[in-house]
């Protein structure tokens, strides 16, 4: 089978265009192309989108570089005049929305200056830069300036899916056959008897179409919910004088937005204040070089990203008036990238479809030949009636219906159904899957490279210990007994409040709230406990320059000027790095004294002691300067004020989650910026660092020769003091040795590693928008246990599809052979077109619903991951398919050829009773085989069955409707009511397949691996040795 599917292979992530074209061109037999490829990306649309995007980016680039230059020479009098409308005046505003949009879009600095700069624009849109927009004004601002929402393609209605389901070529042919059958039937047999056969086919088609449309529509609703979640982005704003978080959809003109590294600029606006603001405009203009935004170059455009620094921005243009809005409107959706399973099952469907088409043609030819021979032998070869035409039409309808059953259109669609169901469940479990293939690939992951902070730990940090003036002070409940001199205390408070990227604000209830990263919040909270006041510090000192925290340098610095005119630089960061920058230390009197080698050794011991207690250590230092430096802040000559130890407790349940991964054959590696001792302590507490495992520093790892790196890679469990580049190098090398790597990330600099990995996992709370956009899955609660849940569902998707494939292939084989053999021998097919359509619905839509949506069981996490090259249809599956098929063919064959004698059926309706028994037995064989398919290897198929309400509902509906078809719809379905004895016989014939399944599962077929491609884990000392 693998040789036949060589054209149906694509990479799970970033598949090549050649591979995507190859498998599409190899799909030759498709009943309904619109439905089969509905969820698959359209390569022509994608190419068209890329072309449009390039054109728009070129247009914007011209605006950036030509218009800006041209505007310098345009006389103010030649500019477009915007007249205020009465509506704008009555609303209390003094500028038109189009004027604001034009000014920012064209980077018109002259127009901005003539309007009084950012402050002047704020006045014209009736807002205070310090207080922000009033909540009571939101409605009127949306009415005048527009909402921050983009034009979206309208959702597809239910009737669209009905129409799409009707595009099935085989169903269209059957409809034509049904109409002809009704016409000929009424002419020959009269009304209403002549209508029954054709009407039965039409009713069956309507039922198939409606069930298909309902299933597809529900699936589209699930994807719509997921898309809505993907687009949810929150941003910090000042409103009603308070700092608060709002959705970008709720932004209005006049909002004061707070931007930080990794944020996406949510609307067009003007820079108010900030530090070192660098904007990545590549998504809008295609330019790779970052743009520096200052008061001289103050324009910010929606859709761009903050690469460095922080700022406050005044929103001037929202929604469809922005260039980003126009770009979003122009690009039509291209669909989702296909997943490897979808592609593989398209291949399986194509191969089986070709076989089915051959059988259908042969069946029709054989039936026609037998019909002609019978007429010849009866001497009526020259006499043809409308009844003969009706018989040939029936043969043609049966052949077409065989194609309906034989082409397993539901195989690739079942993958989408299963993934949609899994993604919906994962969203409830706080994991947002951005790409379909990620959910599938996660089932194959062999390694998870995880961050520490917020993922393994609670992300609720507190300063637990402080070293200052050669003494260690420990937190006592909510207080510190510091006993410091006033000079030392003032220095410590300055070092805390001056050098911070966070803010202390009041919420709506007037309570103090600290905004910023968990580390910053912990240090500011410590400063507040010491009695520090943010406003006082900001009044007494003016910030001249900020160098934000950098994950490469692992420190943050700030330059301030005092009221007396002196200049002071503060720095904080990784203890061993910042300690090397110090030449002095503060003594108990607040004086700077030289830092001797002996003192450095003692402080290093304190740092090591803190780290061994799983505390994150930071040094707070300062230095006085004669004048403000023109370039970077100094890297030496500092005075050490304090060493703080910050506690971040391990999340409850993490140790158990790590153990679950290890039981599942998934190696967990912790990659952190903390020092080695802290990292090892946390890793041991989580159960990550085990005997024989290696803990290594990023600097050591990156300097290893290639052969040593390859040798140590499998043993690495902890990487400390790592840079984003180290994480990228680790991921890249792990993939080279065959690992399927999942990696977590939250910062902007994690984007390359997230993109390089097989599955990128971004943090929903701590993660930046840049990290999220480069991720495949967003862990919305930042919890490691949620990552394990994604892996569990990934494995469930894989095995559920295997169950469905086993079930469907069994039905395919039996339906094809029984109809073909019967046609060859008896000249008639035991299963009519209506009956085959019902069987097709059981095995296709209903079968997919029942088997492809089963929740995961704990047994899935006790096996090794699926190998990249594992065969999808395993030997165990072939064993079950062949065994069940042989049993059903033998039983149905005996009934077909000797049923009347065995069951003592006599009378004019004996043939109709026998055919009904064959049909009923066949359906019950599928019902019981569907239960068998819940477990491919295990004997107990009932375990957890009632936990899946979808499975139970489908089984009940199938049996219930089968009773209705047999007992009440005989005129349309060519059945007759059966006696209770015959019903019991049909049920017993079906149930024997369960006993057979037990026997089949006792036949060994695979020694090393489990039925679903998972390697079994060692279960005892002898195995592990």
By annotation, the residues acting in catalysis are 451
Instruction: Give the span between the Cα atoms of 717 and 735, in whole angstroms.
Output: 16
Separation between Cα atoms, residue 399 and residue 359, nearest integer Å:
8
Q: Compute CA distances 731 → 739, 742, 994, whole Å.
A: 9, 8, 46
Q: In which residue are the tokens 């059945």 written?
A: 975
What torsion, rounded to 10 degrees, do the Cα atoms 66, 69, 72, 75 define?
-20
Q: What is the DSSP string of 48-117?
A: HHHHHHHHHHHHHHHIIIIIHHHHTTS-GGGSPP-PPPHHHHHTT--S-HHHHHHHHHTT-HHHHHHTTH
Q: What is the distance between the alpha carbons of residues 248 and 233, in angstroms, rounded to a whole number?
A: 6
Instruction: Give the DSSP per-residue string, 375-407.
Output: HHHTT-TT---HHHHHHHHHHHHHHHHHHHHHS
Phi, psi of 298 (to 5 degrees): -95, 5
From first CA to last CA, the distance across the chain in angstroms is 35
The whole-angstrom separation of Cα 313 and Cα 237 is 9
- Alpha-carbon distances, residue 25 vs 21, 42, 44, 356, 434 (angstroms): 6, 13, 14, 20, 27
Question: How many distinct helices (H) and strands (E) make up the chain?
Answer: 39, 28
Burial zone of 840 (CB within 10 Å; 0-12 exposed, 13-18 middle, 19+ buried): buried
CA-nearest of 561, 554, 558, 560 to 579 is 554
Instruction: Tokens for 1020, please give them.
Output: 């005892």
Helix locations, 827-948, DSSP H = 833-841, 847-851, 875-903, 910-932
Residues 6+ apart with CB under 8 A from 378: none
Backbone angles phi, psi at 238, to 5 degrees: -105, 120
Asked whether the beta carbons of 481 and 520 are under 8 A apart, the reply is: no
The C-alpha atoms of residue 259 and residue 231 are separated, in whole angstroms, by 18
Question: What is d(CA 580, CA 607) in angstroms, rounded to the nearest whole number?
Answer: 13
Q: Which tokens hold the place of 892?
A: 């149905």
* H/E segment holding residue 513: strand 512-515
Q: What is the dihedral of CA 311, 314, 320, 324, to 10 degrees?
A: -20
738: tokens are 């065959």
Nearest to 308 by CA among 551, 11, 615, 621: 551
Residues 6+ positions from 479 with CB-CB distance below 8 Å: 529
CA quadruple 508, 509, 511, 512: dihedral, nearest 10: 0
For residue 192, is the peptide bond before it cis, meaning its omega torsion is within 30 degrees of 0? yes
Integer Cα distance of 580 and 593 in angstroms = 16
Nearest 5°: the CA angle 264, 267, 269 is 110
What lies within 8 Å, CB to CB, of 44 at 6+ separation is none
Helical residues (DSSP H) of 624-756, grouped into ranges = 654-663, 676-686, 698-702, 706-712, 724-736, 751-756
Alpha helices for 429-484 (secondary structure H) = 436-442
Distance CA 708, CA 714 (A): 11
């Amino acid at each position: 089978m693998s040789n036949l599917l060589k054209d149906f292979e694509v990479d799970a992530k970033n598949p090549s265009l050649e591979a995507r074209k190859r498998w599409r061109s190899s799909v030759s037999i498709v009943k309904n192309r619109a439905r089969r490829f509905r969820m698959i990306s359209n390569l022509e649309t994608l190419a068209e989108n890329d072309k449009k995007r390039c054109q728009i980016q070129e247009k914007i680039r011209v605006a950036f570089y030509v218009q800006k230059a041209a505007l310098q020479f345009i006389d103010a009098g030649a500019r477009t005049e915007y007249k205020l409308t009465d509506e704008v005046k009555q609303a209390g505003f003094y500028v038109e929305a189009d004027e604001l949009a034009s000014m920012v879009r064209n980077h018109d600095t002259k127009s901005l200056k003539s309007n009084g700069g950012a402050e002047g624009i704020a006045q014209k849109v009736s807002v205070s830069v310090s207080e922000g927009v009033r909540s009571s004004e939101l409605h009127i601002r949306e009415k005048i300036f527009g909402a921050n929402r983009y034009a979206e393609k309208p959702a597809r209605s239910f009737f669209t899916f009905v129409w799409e389901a009707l595009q099935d070529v085989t169903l269209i042919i059957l409809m034509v056959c049904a109409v002809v059958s009704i016409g000929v039937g009424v002419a020959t047999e009269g009304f209403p008897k002549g209508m029954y056969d054709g009407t039965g086919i039409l009713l069956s088609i309507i039922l198939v179409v409606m069930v298909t449309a309902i299933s597809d529509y529900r699936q589209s609703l699930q994807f719509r919910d997921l898309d809505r979640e993907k687009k949810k982005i929150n941003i910090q704003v000042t409103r009603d004088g308070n700092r608060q978080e709002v959705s970008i959809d709720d932004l209005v003109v006049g909002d004061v937005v707070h931007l930080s590294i990794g944020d996406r600029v949510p609307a067009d606006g003007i820079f108010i204040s900030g530090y070192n603001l660098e904007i990545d405009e590549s998504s809008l203009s295609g330019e790779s070089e970052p743009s520096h935004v200052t008061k001289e170059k103050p324009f910010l455009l929606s859709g761009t990203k903050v690469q460095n620094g922080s700022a406050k921005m005044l929103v001037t243009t929202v929604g469809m008036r922005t260039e980003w809005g126009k770009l979003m409107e122009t690009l039509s959706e291209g669909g989702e990238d296909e997943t490897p399973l979808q592609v593989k099952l398209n291949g399986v469907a194509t191969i089986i479809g070709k076989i089915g088409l051959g059988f259908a043609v042969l069946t029709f030819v054989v039936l026609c030949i037998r019909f002609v021979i019978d007429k010849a032998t009866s001497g009526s070869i020259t006499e043809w009636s409308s009844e003969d035409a009706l018989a040939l039409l029936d043969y043609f309808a049966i052949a077409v219906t065989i194609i309906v059953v034989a082409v397993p259109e539901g195989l690739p669609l079942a993958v989408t159904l299963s993934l949609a169901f899994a993604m919906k469940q994962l969203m409830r479990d706080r994991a947002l899957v951005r790409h379909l293939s990620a959910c599938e690939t996660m089932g194959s992951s062999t390694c998870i490279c995880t961050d520490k902070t917020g993922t393994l730990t609670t992300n609720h940090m507190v300063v637990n210990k402080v070293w200052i003036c050669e003494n260690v002070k420990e937190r006592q409940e909510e207080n510190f007994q510091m006993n410091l001199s006033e000079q030392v205390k003032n220095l410590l408070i300055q070092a805390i409040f001056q050098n911070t990227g966070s803010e202390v604000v009041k919420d709506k209830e007037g309570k103090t709230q600290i905004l910023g990263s968990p580390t910053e919040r912990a240090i500011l909270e410590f400063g507040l406990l010491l009695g520090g006041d943010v406003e006082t510090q900001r009044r007494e000192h003016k910030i001249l320059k900020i160098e934000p925290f950098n994950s490469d340098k692992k420190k943050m610095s700030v330059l301030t000027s005092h009221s007396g005119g002196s200049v002071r630089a503060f720095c904080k960061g990784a203890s061993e790095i910042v300690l090397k920058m110090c030449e002095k230390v503060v003594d108990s009197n607040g004086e700077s004294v030289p830092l001797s080698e002996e003192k450095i050794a003692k402080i290093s011991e304190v740092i090591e002691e803190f780290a061994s207690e799983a505390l994150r250590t930071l040094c707070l230092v300062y230095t006085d300067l004669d004048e403000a430096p023109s370039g970077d802040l100094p890297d030496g000559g500092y005075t050490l004020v304090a060493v703080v130890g910050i506690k971040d407790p391990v999340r409850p349940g993490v140790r158990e989650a790590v153990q679950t991964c290890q039981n599942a054959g998934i190696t967990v590696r912790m990659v952190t910026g903390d020092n080695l001792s802290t990292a090892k302590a946390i890793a041991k507490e989580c159960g990550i660092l085990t005997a024989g495992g290696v803990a290594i520093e990023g600097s050591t790892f990156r300097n290893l020769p290639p052969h040593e790196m390859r040798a140590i890679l499998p043993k690495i469990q902890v990487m400390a003091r790592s840079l984003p580049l180290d994480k990228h190098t680790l991921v890249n090398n792990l993939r080279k040795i065959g690992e399927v790597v999942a990696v977590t990330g939250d910062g902007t600099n994690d984007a390359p590693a997230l993109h390089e990995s097989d599955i990128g996992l971004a943090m929903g709370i701590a993660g930046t928008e840049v990290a999220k956009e480069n991720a495949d899955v967003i862990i919305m609660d930042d919890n490691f246990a949620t990552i394990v849940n994604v892996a569990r569902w990934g494995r469930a998707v894989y095995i559920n599809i295997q169950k469905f494939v086993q079930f469907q292939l069994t039905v395919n084989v039996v339906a094809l052979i029984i109809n073909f053999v019967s046609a060859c021998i008896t000249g008639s097919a035991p299963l009519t077109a209506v009956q085959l359509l019902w069987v097709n619905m059981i095995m296709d839509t209903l079968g997919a619903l029942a088997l492809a949506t089963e929740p995961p069981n704990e047994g899935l996490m006790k096996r090794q991951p699926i190998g990249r090259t594992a065969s999808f249809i395993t030997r165990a599956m072939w064993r079950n398919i062949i065994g069940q098929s042989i049993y059903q063919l033998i039983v149905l064959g005996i009934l077909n050829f000797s049923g009347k004698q065995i069951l003592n059926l006599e009378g004019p309706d004996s043939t109709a009773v026998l055919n009904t028994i064959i049909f009923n037995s066949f359906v019950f064989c599928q019902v019981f085989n569907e239960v068998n398919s819940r477990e491919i290897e295990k004997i107990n198929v009932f375990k957890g069955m009632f936990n899946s309400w979808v499975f139970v509902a489908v089984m009940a509906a199938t049996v219930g409707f089968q009773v209705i078809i047999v007992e009440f719809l005989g005129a349309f379905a060519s059945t007759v009511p059966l006696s209770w004895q015959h019903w019991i016989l049909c049920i017993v014939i079906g149930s024997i397949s369960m006993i057979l399944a037990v026997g089949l599962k006792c036949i060994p077929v695979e020694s090393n691996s489990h039925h679903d491609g998972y390697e079994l884990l060692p279960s005892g000392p002898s195995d592990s040795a």
